[in-house]
Amino acid sequence: MKRIILPTDFSDNAYNAIQYALKLFKEKECAFYLLHTYTPAIYHSEYMLHSPGQIGLGDLYQTDTMVQLEELKDRIHREFKNPKHTFFLHSAFNTLVDEILDTIENEKADLVIMGTQGATGAKEILIGTNSVHVIKKATCPVILVPSSFEYEKPKEILFPTDYEVDYQQEHLQELVAIAREHMSRIEVLHVSQGLDLNEEQLTHKKKLDTILADVAHLFHDLPQQQIITAINNFQLKMRKNLLVMIQNKHTFLERLFIEPIIKKIGFHVTIPFMVIPPYKKNEK
């Protein structure tokens, strides 16, 4: 059974991501963890010291959020009625990112699927702060779903890579599973940096070809240009339904979140964006 964490702040954006998850895995036996975190608005250090005025405050917040989670579960059951899906409710007094990371570890989660922004997310922000921290720290793949995205089967998957990663079967198993389930085609996109692939990159590319052997896939080598430009232009030529990248601190994805200029040159996530964490042996 697949284990999937669905963080929610009860916003429309969060529910859109939940709907995406339920439709993406419609035919799969899944355990979904509806996760919400809270921090009382008047929280301060005395709360931890059991100030008489705040005793029980956390319990009140938890009770309230559990009621909202129950209502959310009821709504899901009414709208989807899928006997293959089981739901567990999780409310915690913690930061969202830390609770997601703890739940990944405790429940041995396979995926996290969440919205790109919360209830107050500004549209001009590339990806919400919580989402950025989750994908940088998570030990399982994370799928971010834009609030405006209406579900489409991931028939065409775009996978930009620089072949600097020593790909592993286990590392890419969620990507391959999705591609198999939906009979997807994976478009592997490499942008030249003005040099031919070195021996190590060629070895990695061959290994990737072997791992993807059971699913339709094509390799594309584009001339030197900004990777963001290449991604945007490639999507214009052929509609893509899912963007997939590997979180590798030496490559483009890491720079994506630390270079402010990125926001100015047009990289805006308009389709679901799956981020695969580094394979442990590749972390350096």
Domains annotated for the chain, with CATH where assigned, are: 2-145 (3.40.50.620), 156-282 (3.40.50.620)
Q: Using alpha carbons, list the distances in angstroms from residue 93 to 41, 54, 97.
A: 12, 14, 12
φ, ψ at 19 (rounded to 5°): -60, -40
Q: What is the pLDDT of residues 108-141, one digit of tens each?
A: 999 999 988 644 444 433 456 777 788 888 999 9
| Mean of pLDDT over the chain | 83
What is the predicted pLDDT for the residue at 123?
43
Q: What is the pLDDT of residues 135-185, one digit of tens each?
A: 888 999 999 998 888 999 999 999 998 898 899 999 899 999 999 999 999
Q: What is the pLDDT of residues 38-94, one digit of tens each?
A: 875 555 444 455 454 444 555 677 788 899 999 999 999 999 999 999 999 999 988
What is the pTM (predicted TM-score) of this model? 0.86
Q: What is the DSSP string of the chain?
A: -EEEEEE--SSHHHHHHHHHHHHHTTTS-EEEEEEEEE--TT--HHHHTT-GGGTTHHHHHHHHHHHHHHHHHHHHHHHH--TTEEEEEEEEES-HHHHHHHHHHHHT-SEEEEESS-TT--TTSSS-HHHHHHHHH-SS-EEEE-TTPPP----EEEEE--S-S---TTTTHHHHHHHHHTT-EEEEEEE--SS---HHHHHHHHHHHHHTTTSEEEEEEE-S--HHHHHHHHHHHS--SEEEEE--TTSHHHHHTT-THHHHTT----S-EEEEPPPGGG--
Handedness of CA 88, 89, 91, 94 (dihedral sign): positive
